Amino acid sequence: MKKHITIFTACMLALLLPSCNGFLEKEPLDGFTDQNYWSSEANVRAYAWRFYNVFMGYGKGTGTSSEYYFQSAGASSPILISDDLTSNGFLQYQPNASASNTDWNSLYEYIRRTNILLERLPNVPMDDVAKKHWEGVARFFRAYYYFRLVQRFGDVPYYDKDVTDINNIQAVFLPRTNRNEVMDKVRNDINLAVNGLLRESDGTNTVNKYVGLALKARIGLYEGTYRKYHNAGDGTAFLNDAKNAANEIMQSGKYELGASYKAVYNSENLNASKEMILYKEYLAGVATHSIQAYTNTSSIGNGMTKAAIDSYACTDGLPVSQSPIYSGDATITDILANRDARLTATVEKEGISFRTQPQTLSRSRTSSTGYVINLYYNPASANITTTGQNSIDAPIFGYAEVLLNYAEACAELGAITQGDLDKSINPLRNRAGITDLTYVNDNDIRVNGITINDPKRTGALENISGTVSSIIWEIRRERRAELMTWTEMRYYDLMRWKKGDYLDYTKNPDVALGAKGDGMTGVTVNADGYVYVYPTSNRIFDPAKHYFNSIPVTQRTLYKAEGIDLTQNTGW
């Protein structure tokens, strides 16, 4: 996919399509035009490569815009706020609406491109099988783009055709459509894409039927649980979508878990992994990033929170509050002893190193919380400490997420069985070296005959928005452990579960804490010796406001100039 994403052909440059405030007024004097471009499947394929740019992976060059780890953008992007990682600079929810939003602009540009492709396809000289496939690709991406918009903004304007008459104000400046209606349209697009449109294979590492099913499972789980926990309607159909789509991938036999959890995140060649359904490929000299450089040099890293560290189970399958083999957290050796292998793969075992109290760690590493991220380290990687020169590949859709989506959908539908656990959650636990879950009933989940009884499940934090069953709690624990430091995924898990309170320092004190630092100078600790990462700062999550981004002020101003009201989200 490196060539698809990073190398733009002349025809693509000629077809760059601006947003509503910058339409092309004249056709180019030479080269391709909209009239002569749509002449072959090759041209359609070239046009569609740009759709993949929405997948940020580990970012690009020295930039810090990505789907993993980085939390360097401003507070206008609340997705960067996490309960897993604490940024190297304090992040707070901004008090006022943003003037602009990059996601709003770019996603609508992409949507316009998909609508153009759908309108041009019938007249392209290629066979019906090819036309159906490219319709499927366009619908796949349109579904994904609108899904992203709804996650961020809730109600959004919905365009299903290219607006060619910019003087038609009513067609250009559409009002916001209710989010449920938009998601029903998203469901229709992704269903059409996977039900007979997308090819089972269209070359290496490109959108195909199984990538479509992976997206369908992700969308279904998100929307089904969002509607349930936000009292936004019946989400059963979406949950069934998630279960069935994930199960179809599982039954295909085309994918399987690899031997190494860490290899998903530090591999120079994910093409060799049967776990990958779609990934972003990087190659030295062609497309590179900086995630290894930022986590393997003296740059202060984003550190894992105490809340995140405590969430990992011990190897006996029990939470740290219940396990007799938990060694405590006085030292990094104690923390990692007898713990989920996903924790030992993620956190550096050499020691704890605070930004203000650096210890002697290889490559001079420190972090905001003392816990240093080691997940992306690969000793075989070249230029590992050079920004803009890293080339490990980034997962986009992986088999582990499919298994997690399947298990959670089954549990949310109230119909999970031991057989479901044995083909989804337990294989993940096997790879992580922890004991299998045994299902007795929704509130009696056992390991080696012992019922799991995590006091956090029914604690004060959970009671704010409501507790969940033991089976759902343990599946969420697995999801967090498997996708840890995938900040974008975690953030929207919290949003769909209505657990924004996890991000609030007052309601969830452990998210404001790092490792033990008592006895050290230059750090502030609580009564139990844990470091306050930002002792003079307090992040508040407002549930009446912060489940959605603000609608960009500039967009509302454009509408207002035409006498149309683009409504704002509650609280902004």
pLDDT, tens digit (0-9, with 9 covering 90-100), for 120-154: 999 999 999 999 999 999 999 999 999 999 999 99
Report CA-CA distances (Å) from 413 to 242, 271, 406, 468, 499.
11, 34, 11, 13, 20
Name the DSSP class of 195: I
SS3 at position 242 = helix
Largest Cα separation within the chain, whole Å, is 76
Which is nearest to 396 in space by CA: 43, 29, 35, 54?
A: 54
Q: Report the percent of the chain where pLDDT is more than 70.
A: 93
The bridge status of strand 276-280 relative to strand 394-398 is antiparallel
SS3 at position 562 = coil
pLDDT, tens digit (0-9, with 9 covering 90-100), for 37-81: 999 999 999 999 999 999 999 999 998 889 999 865 554 566 789
With bands split at pLDDT 50, 70 and 90, how would you rate the model's confidence at 16? very low
| Residue 445 to residue 236: CA distance in whole angstroms | 24
**Alpha helices by DSSP H, 65-207:** 102-120, 128-153, 169-172, 179-192
Mean pLDDT (whole number) for 199-225? 97
Q: Please say if the pLDDT value at position 23 is more than 90.
A: no
Q: Please say if the pLDDT value at position 2 is more than 60.
A: no
pLDDT score at 3: 36
Q: Please say if the pLDDT value at position 173 is more than 90.
A: yes
Q: With the C-alpha atoms ordered 140, 142, 143, 144, is the resulting torsion angle positive or negative?
A: positive
Sequence-distant (6+) residues with CB within 8 A of 26 are none
CATH architecture type of domain 2-68+91-272:
Alpha Horseshoe (1.25)
pLDDT, tens digit (0-9, with 9 covering 90-100), for 471-496: 999 999 999 999 988 888 999 999 99
| Residue 172 to residue 509: CA distance in whole angstroms | 46
Angle, in degrees to the nearest 10, between helices 179-192 and 128-153 = 150
Q: Residue with structure tokens 């999801």?
A: 479
The pTM of the full predicted model, rounded to 2 decimals, is: 0.94
pLDDT, tens digit (0-9, with 9 covering 90-100), for 286-342: 999 999 999 999 989 999 999 999 999 999 999 999 999 999 999 999 999 999 999
Find out whether 375 and 365 touch, Cβ atoms under 8 Å: no
Name the DSSP class of 512: G
With bands split at pLDDT 50, 70 and 90, how would you rate the model's confidence at 459? very high
Q: What would the two tokens of residue 471 be?
A: 């089976």
Sequence ranges of the domains in the chain:
2-68+91-272
pLDDT score at 515: 97
pLDDT score at 487: 81
SS3 at position 359 = coil
pLDDT score at 31: 67
Mean pLDDT (whole number) for 216-222? 98
Which is nearest to 54 in space by CA: 113, 99, 12?
A: 113
Find out whether 572 and 550 touch, Cβ atoms under 8 Å: yes
| Residue 461 to residue 466: CA distance in whole angstroms | 9
Find out whether 354 and 523 touch, Cβ atoms under 8 Å: yes
Across the chain, mean pLDDT equals 92
Q: With the C-alpha atoms ordered 82, 83, 89, 91, is the resulting torsion angle positive or negative?
A: positive
Q: Please say if the pLDDT value at position 1 is more than 70.
A: no
SS3 at position 244 = helix
With bands split at pLDDT 50, 70 and 90, how would you rate the model's confidence at 12? very low
pLDDT score at 27: 42
Report CA-CA distances (Å) from 115 to 119, 142, 467, 496, 568.
6, 8, 42, 28, 26
Query: Residue length, the chain?
Result: 572
Mean pLDDT (whole number) for 371-399? 96
Q: What would the two tokens of residue 270 be?
A: 């994910």
Beta-carbon count within 10 A of 572 CB: 16
With bands split at pLDDT 50, 70 and 90, how would you rate the model's confidence at 30? low
pLDDT score at 417: 98
Which amino acid appears at position 55 of this protein?
A: F
With bands split at pLDDT 50, 70 and 90, how would you rate the model's confidence at 25? very low
The H helix count followed by the E strand count for the chain is 21, 11
pLDDT score at 77: 63
| 156-160 contacts, C-beta under 8 A, 24 or more apart | 156/182, 157/566, 158/182, 158/185, 159/108, 159/111, 159/112, 159/115, 160/115, 160/185
pLDDT score at 360: 82
pLDDT score at 490: 94
